[in-house]
């Protein structure tokens, strides 16, 4: 497992078995699978998390409602 911190330690990526779990503060906001498939939540938090999300996926139309996002990644956490 590898941990990488960005944006003044407010965005953290945990990489486990090739899957990247991205957290803004301590809230999971995105998951990138080893095959490149990306799941990103819409911003339900604030401007800093919004900046984190924009750096992950600038196209807001590709982001999932948070409950749908959590349902997609449920078994991976």
- What pLDDT, in 10s, does the model give residues 24-76? 998 999 999 999 999 999 999 999 999 999 999 999 999 999 999 999 999 88
pTM attached to this predicted model: 0.89
Query: Can you give the pLDDT at residue 63?
Result: 97
Per DSSP, the three-state class of 30 is strand
Question: What are the C-alpha distances in Å from 64 to residues 7, 52, 53, 61?
Answer: 23, 15, 12, 8
Q: Model confidence at 6, in pLDDT bands (50, 70, 90)?
A: confident
Locate the domains of the chain by residue range.
2-76
Query: Can you give the pLDDT at residue 40?
Result: 98
């Amino acid at each position: 497992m590898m941990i990488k911190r960005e944006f003044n330690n407010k965005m953290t990526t945990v990489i486990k078995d090739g899957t990247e779990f991205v957290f803004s503060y301590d809230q999971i906001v995105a998951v990138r699978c080893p095959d490149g498939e990306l799941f990103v939540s819409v911003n339900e938090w604030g401007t800093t998390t919004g900046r984190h999300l924009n750096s992950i996926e600038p196209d807001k139309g590709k982001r999932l409602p948070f409950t749908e996002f959590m349902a997609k990644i449920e078994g991976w956490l």
